[in-house]
Amino acid sequence: MRLVRAIGQVALAVLNTVGAVSLFALRGLAALLTGPWFFGQLLRQLSAIGFFSLPVVGLTAVFTGAALALNIYVGGGRFNAEQIMPQIVALGITRELGPVLAALMLAGRVSATIAAEIGAMRATEQIDAMRTLSTDPFRYLVVPRLVAAVIALPLLTVVADTIGIAGGWLVATRFLDFNATVYVRNTVDFIEGWDVVSGLIKATAFGFIVALMGCYYGYTASGGARGVGRASTHAVVAAAMLIFASDYLMSFWFSRL
Amino acid sequence: MRGQWIETLMGFVVLALAAAFLIYVVRVGGFEGVRRGYEVSARFGDVGSLAPGATVSVAGVKIGTVSRVSLDPKTYLAQVDLAIDPEIKLPADSSAKITSDSLLGGVHVAVAAGGSPEDLKPGGEIENTQGAVDLFGLIGQVVRPQPSGDPANED
Amino acid sequence: MTRPPPKLEWRGVSKRFGAEPVLNRLNLTVPAGCSLVIIGGSGQGKSVMIKLALGLIRPDAGKLLLDGKALPGLGGRLQRRLYGKAGVLFQGAALFDSLSVWENVAFRLINADGVPRKTARRRALAALERVKLDPDIAERFPSELSGGMQKRVGLARAIAADPEILFFDEPTTGLDPITAAVINDLIVDQVKRLGCTTLSITHDLASARRIGDEIAMLHEGQIVWRGPAADLDRTDHPQVRAFVDMQSA
Ligand SMILES: Nc1ncnc2c1ncn2[C@@H]1O[C@H](COP(=O)(O)OP(=O)(O)OP(=O)(O)O)[C@@H](O)[C@H]1O
Ligand SMILES: [Mg+2]
């Protein structure tokens, strides 16, 4: 009996959060559609979320591409199919690893920052102050971050795709005796527009998730500095979990098209 | 934004590297996906692990790639479509053979040029083929018998 | 009845956090053009009163009226009109720490009123001067200022757009007596010259006497005493006596 009640309570709490997050997202959408818009803030967030994530995304991509190439080479060798390594590396990176890795790095870097920033503003009454200054904190703080992440993550994914494939190419030509030109040609001939585009669609959704989690947990933070820390942690964990779940759903859906 | 110049620099370095590789890809990969070359087909008794993307070569020099591998429903032979570089004209009596790639251990299609004055037309078929070697090496090399009554094959 | 409705009114407002009641059917009116000072012990709910009036938190019962009309919940049209003509100094200053001092002061001008940045900056510098701050600090960030300076920047931000209603939560706390006197004069000036309605919270009786037309005492969730500043010394209300005598001692 007690167990049933505990399970019921957890389920209710989860439903509660899902509802609150959905409302939050809808509110963001409404604010985005109706304006006023703060373009200065958007530019600021684009540079903070997009440009300054380039190093970490690039580094992750090059190592992942290289490791992927080595593993597929070994795996392919088990049935004499090493020569399709460039194609599999390119496919894996554009459809899956590019968007997911870029999104996870952003979840760690950006969700946490957003939650901490907005949470600290909540804790020190800056959000209240902003409202009394006739400026909607939702439009000033939340909307620019959501839009910036939705724009930035697909662009970062293009960079991650390119650098990831370059990482595989580097290993293949340096250590595995692949011909540099043939590798590139095989990749280019094989990859279809949809491979890249489906990855970018995923990235757009992930961008929304990353910013939404940061904003939601920051905006609803309470309890001073400890509350801000908790908001950060929750934002990162929730963003990462939602990225994995929605990645599977989208992959499943794309595979049936 | 103060004291962020290292991160700014790193951002530009990453962008520059990505752009450099993209330019290289466009140069080399040539995006000749557009001028893919002409297609010819060949039928094999057994293609082994041949897959799309595999190299097609003459005398060890790459002249194209395998674009499709399918089964001919009537003859139960493997139908292999080859995309050949448009600059290379193959004689009509050329033969194709699936061999294992000495360098990487994979398989590719080796074409031996024939002596006919006529060229193989786009969409044409290479009649003379030799399939993949059976894994157990039981059969060794088996030349597929010629289909009878085919005028293109008469010398 | 031709008497105009009070500028601001708390009518039977109750608020509790968890099980602990903070305000208990509080009634209070602030007439237009009046400077009302709220005194009361720490934790009695003075800051909560201001936040309720601003619609930043919702009352559990009762309502708030602006010019005789009930203020709806967050984001209502009347609410926005109140923000449009109110200036607020929060107890902790609540400066935006990602913006420079002058951008803080000019925040409303730039982001809500669409004033060009150059004009906004000029007006921000003028507001800083009125709270006796050096224009040199305009480019600094709030974290680089002392607590008293932050308070004065908050004050400058509250008055920068020439509001009609001013809320000051402990405007002189943490200031030296000379600067405090300047701030008191500034508040008096806002009320007398510009006809603002102000609601100030303070623990400092000297300041309360200087700026308050009227003084009200909040105790255990209700206004227990209200009268002109001069009556502070004459009343025999026990809580007021205790408050006044403790400070003069
Ligand atoms: N957001 C909140 N959540 C929970 N309790 C709160 C909250 N805000 C205020 N309180 C409680 O309400 C009571 C009144 O707080 P308030 O800040 O109004 O006091 P105050 O009269 O302004 O005191 P001080 O003079 O020290 O500033 C306190 O007991 C406080 O614990
Ligand atoms: Mg207070």
Q: How far apart are CA A55 and CA A157, in angstroms?
A: 13
Quickly state the pLDDT bin for B137 (edges 50, 70, 90).
very low
Question: Cβ separation of B106 and A185 shorter than 8 Å?
Answer: no
Higher pLDDT, C165 or B47: C165
Q: Using a threshold of 3 CB pairs under 8 A, tell whether chains B and C touch.
A: no
According to the model, what pLDDT value does residue B101 have? 62
B140 torsion bin: left (phi>0), alpha (psi -120 to 50), beta (else): left
For residue B86, cis peptide bond before it (omega within 30 degrees of 0): no
Question: Cβ separation of A80 and B107 shorter than 8 Å?
Answer: yes
According to the model, what pLDDT value does residue A233 have? 94
Q: Which of C47, C52, C111 to mutate to test the interface with A (most CBs of A within 10 A)?
A: C111
Q: Say if residues A42 and A148 touch (Cβ distance below 8 Å).
A: yes
Query: Relative to the CA of C218, which ligand 1 atom is closest?
Result: 21
C91 in ligand 1 pocket by Cβ < 6 Å? yes
Q: What is the pTM of this model?
A: 0.79
According to the model, what pLDDT value does residue C73 have? 58
Q: Whose CA is nearest to atom 31 of ligand 1?
A: C43
Per cent of chain C over pLDDT 90 is 26
According to the model, what pLDDT value does residue B136 have? 42
| pLDDT above 80 (res A98) | yes
Higher pLDDT, B125 or C249: B125
| Measured distance between the N- and C-terminal CA atoms of chain A, rounded to whole angstroms | 46
Q: Is C94 on the interface with A (CB under 8 A)?
A: yes
Q: How many CB atoms lie within 10 A of CB C76?
A: 13
Question: Cβ separation of C108 and A134 shorter than 8 Å?
Answer: yes
Q: Which of residues 33-72 of A touch C (CB under 8 A)?
A: 38
According to the model, what pLDDT value does residue B141 have? 43
What is the DSSP track for B37-99? -EEEEEEES--TT--TT-EEEETTEEEEEEEEEEE-TTT-PEEEEEEE-TT---BTT-EEEEE
- Is beta strand C214-219 parallel, antiparallel or unpaired with respect to C35-39? parallel
Question: Cβ separation of B14 and A159 shorter than 8 Å?
Answer: yes
Task: Tell me how far the alpha carbon of residue C43 lies from the centroid of ligand 2, in angstroms.
Answer: 7
Look up tokens 């690893």; give the residue.
Answer: A97
* Ligand lying closest to the C-alpha of residue C40: 1
Q: Is A126 on the interface with C (CB under 8 A)?
A: yes
The side-by-side arrangement of strands in the sheet containing B61-71 is: B125-126, B38-44, B78-84, B61-71, B55-58, B107-112, B95-100, B128-130
The gap from C-alpha C151 to its chain's centroid, in whole angstroms, comes to: 12
Q: Say if residues C151 and C171 touch (Cβ distance below 8 Å).
A: yes
Question: Cβ separation of B106 and A180 shorter than 8 Å?
Answer: no
Out of A45-49, A243-247, C234-238, least confident range:
C234-238
According to the model, what pLDDT value does residue B154 have? 43
Q: How far apart are CA A166 and CA A90, in angstroms?
A: 10
Q: CB-side exposure of B4: number of CA atoms within 13 Å?
A: 11
What is the DSSP track for C32-85? TT-EEEEE--TTSSHHHHHHHHTTSS--SEEEEEETTEE--STT-HHHHHHHHH
Q: Whose CA is nearest to atom 1 of ligand 1?
A: C17
Quickly state the pLDDT bin for B2 (edges 50, 70, 90).
low
pLDDT one-digit tens code per residue, A147-178: 999 999 999 999 999 999 999 999 998 888 88
Quickly state the pLDDT bin for B135 (edges 50, 70, 90).
very low
Q: For residue B95, give how far its alpha carbon lies from the nearest alpha carbon of chain A (Å).
A: 23
C44 in ligand 1 pocket by Cβ < 6 Å? yes
Quickly state the pLDDT bin for A190 (edges 50, 70, 90).
confident
**ipTM reported for the complex, 2 dp:** 0.88
According to the model, what pLDDT value does residue B104 have? 47
C22 in ligand 1 pocket by Cβ < 6 Å? yes
Q: Is B128 on the interface with A (CB under 8 A)?
A: no
Q: Say if residues B18 and A159 touch (Cβ distance below 8 Å).
A: yes
Q: Say if residues B90 and B120 touch (Cβ distance below 8 Å).
A: yes
Q: Which of residues 57-76 of B touch A (CB under 8 A)?
A: 62, 65
- Is beta strand C69-70 parallel, antiparallel or unpaired with respect to C222-228? unpaired
| pLDDT above 90 (res C84) | no
Indicate the top mutation candidate among C48, C56, C219 to test ligand 1's pocket, ranked by most ligand atoms within 8 A of CB: C48
Taking the domains of chain B in order of start, what are their residue ranges?
A: 38-133
Q: Using a threshold of 3 CB pairs under 8 A, tell whether chains A and B touch.
A: yes
According to the model, what pLDDT value does residue A55 have? 93
The mean pLDDT of chain B is 76
Task: Tell me how far the alpha carbon of residue C46 lies from the centroid of ligand 2, in angstroms.
Answer: 6
Count A/B contacts: CB-CB distance under 8 Å.
89
Q: Say if residues A215 and A142 touch (Cβ distance below 8 Å).
A: yes
Q: Whose CA is nearest to atom 19 of ligand 1?
A: C43
B88 torsion bin: left (phi>0), alpha (psi -120 to 50), beta (else): beta
Look up tokens 């050949």; give the residue.
Answer: B84
User: Position B118: which residue type?
Assistant: E
| pLDDT above 60 (res B54) | yes
Two tokens, residue B37: 């070359």
Q: Determine the 3-state secondary structure of A208 from DSSP.
A: helix
Q: How far apart are CA A212 and CA A145, in angstroms?
A: 8
